[in-house]
Amino acid sequence: RLAVERAAVWLMASRGDGVARLVSSPWRADPYPTYARLREGTGVYRSKLRITSVATHALCSKVLRDRTFGVRSTDGAEPPPFAASGLPGEVEVIPSMLEVDAPDHTRLRALARPAFSPAKITGYRAGIEEATARLLERALAKDRFDLMADFAAPLPITVISALLGIPDVDSAAFVRYGRVLGASLDGTKSVRHARALRTANRELRALFTRLIAERTADPGPDVISALATSTGLTALELATTCELLLIAGFETTTNLIGNAVWTFARNPDQWDRLRADPALVGAAVDEVLRYEPPVQMTARIPHRDTEVAGTPVAANSMVIVLLGSAGRDPAAFERPDEFDIGRPKGADHLAFSSGAHYCLGAPLARLEGEIALGALAGALPAITAVAEPKWRKTTVIRGLSELWLSPGTGS
C-alpha cells in the first residue's frame, strides 16, 4: 500500500512545506513538539503537495473508523506493496491484509484471526515467560548489555517463531529482515536498501515455501499448519500472510520493549512505582504505547470526495494519520506529555490503530510487553544507561537500534 510511496511522499511533503525537521535527526529524537504544531487549528494539515495529515486524536480516530476511507485507491493506480524492492529478480510480492480493503481484507483477516483467540493467547504465556527468563539471565550475567540485541529483539522473534512453528530460528537473519522490511515502510531509501529488501524477500519466501509444503503434508499445532490446511487462500496469499505475521509480530514488539525501557530510564519515579506495585504492569504497557508508540503513523485513502474537519479531501488522495500525535493530544489525555503509569483511564491510544485494520496481534503484543517489563522490573532496581541510546533512522517505525545498560546490582 501507500507504503513505499507513503513515507517518501511524506518526506517530500514536509520538505516542500519547510518542515524538514520532521525527518531530520532532531525530529527523530523528539517528534512530539512537531506534532503539537500540527494539532493547532483544526488538526488537519495540508502540504503544498496536497497531502493531508490529521493530528488530533478525534480526527485520527474518525479517519481510521470511517468506511469512506480505505487503504487502496480505487482509480486503478496500484502503489507497490511496501515489501517490494522494485529490483529485477524479486520474488512475487503481493499486498498483505494490511494493504487491501474489503472483501479481500475481511477474508484474509478472518483466516488469521483464530491464532489470536483469547484461549490461544493464554496458551502462549508459559513459552513467553520461559524465553524472557532465559534471555534476561544471559543478559544480566554481562558487565553491560545491549537491551535491543540481547533482549528486546530476540524475545519477540522467539515467540512469533514458536507460534508459527519455525524450527532452528536464525535470530540474526530475522533481525535483519525485520529492520529491512520495517524501514521499507518509509519507502525504499537507497539501492543498498532495495537490494537488502530483495534478499530478505527471497530468503523469507524460501523459508515459508518449505515450511508450508512440510505442514501441508504433515500438519502440527502451529499457525502455519492451520493456515496451510484452511481453504480460501491462494498459495501466494498463504506465504504473504505468514511473512506478515512474522514481521508484524516482532519488529513492533521489539520497539515496544525498547521504547518502554528508555522511557522508564528517563522517569525513574515511575520505575520505582512499577517495582513497588507489579500489578501496574498492564497499565504501564498501555502508557508506553500512548507515550512512545512503535508505529508513529499510517495512511488512508478516501474512496470518494469527502472532507475532514471542513478541509476537502479528494477521492484517492492520501491522508496521513499521525498515531503518535493522537496519544499526545491534550483534548484526549490530561497532561499528555507526562509519562504516568497510574493515569486515570482516558481515551484509548491509537498505537494499534483502530477500525478494520486494528492490530490483530494486539493481545499478544500486550502479553509480551507485560511479561518482559514485569521481568525487567523484578530484576533491575534502576535502569542505568551506560551510553546515549541510538534511534533507528526510520520515520514510520519509532525505536532504538542500541540501548546499552548496566545490570547494576540485581535484586
- Residue numbers of the site for ligand HEM (CB under 6 A)? 97-98, 109, 160, 244-245, 248-249, 252-253, 256, 293-295, 298, 351-353, 357, 359-361, 364-365
User: Would you tell me the crossing angle of helices 362-379 and 235-266 to the nearest 10 degrees?
Assistant: 30
Shortest CB 241 distance to ligand HEM, Å: 8
Residue 96 CB coordination number (10 Å): 23
H-helix or E-strand spanning residue 378? helix 362-379
Amino acid at 302: P
Shortest CB 273 distance to ligand HEM, Å: 22
Amino acid at 322: L
- How far is 380 from 397, CA to CA, in rounded Å? 27
Shortest CB 128 distance to ligand HEM, Å: 11
Closest CB to ligand HEM among residues 272, 348: 348
- How far is 303 from 343, CA to CA, in rounded Å? 38
Shortest CB 70 distance to ligand HEM, Å: 11
- 8 Å CB contact between 282 and 366: yes
Closest-approach residue to ligand HEM (CB): 361
Closest CB to ligand HEM among residues 26, 317: 317
Q: 9: which residues sit within 8 A by CB, 6+ positions away?
A: 49, 51, 318
Closest CB to ligand HEM among residues 111, 280: 111
Whether the link from the prior residue into 407 is cis, omega within 30° of 0, is no
Shortest CB 143 distance to ligand HEM, Å: 30
- 8 Å CB contact between 3 and 82: yes
Shortest CB 77 distance to ligand HEM, Å: 19
Shortest CB 44 distance to ligand HEM, Å: 19
- 8 Å CB contact between 73 and 316: yes
Closest CB to ligand HEM among residues 208, 352: 352
Q: What are the counts of helices (DSSP H) followed by strands (DSSP E) for the chain?
A: 16, 12
Closest CB to ligand HEM among residues 63, 212: 63
Q: 103: which residues sit within 8 A by CB, 6+ positions away?
A: none
Closest CB to ligand HEM among residues 248, 371: 248
Q: Name the pairing type of β-strands 404-406 and 44-46.
A: unpaired
Closest CB to ligand HEM among residues 44, 321: 321
Closest CB to ligand HEM among residues 281, 359: 359
H-helix or E-strand spanning residue 44? strand 44-46
69: left (phi over 0), alpha (psi -120 to 50) or beta: beta
Q: Supply the DSSP symbol for 305.
A: -
Shortest CB 161 distance to ligand HEM, Å: 11
Shortest CB 113 distance to ligand HEM, Å: 9
Buried b (16+ CB within 10 A) or exposed e, 194-210: bebbbbbbebbbebbee
Closest CB to ligand HEM among residues 116, 404: 116
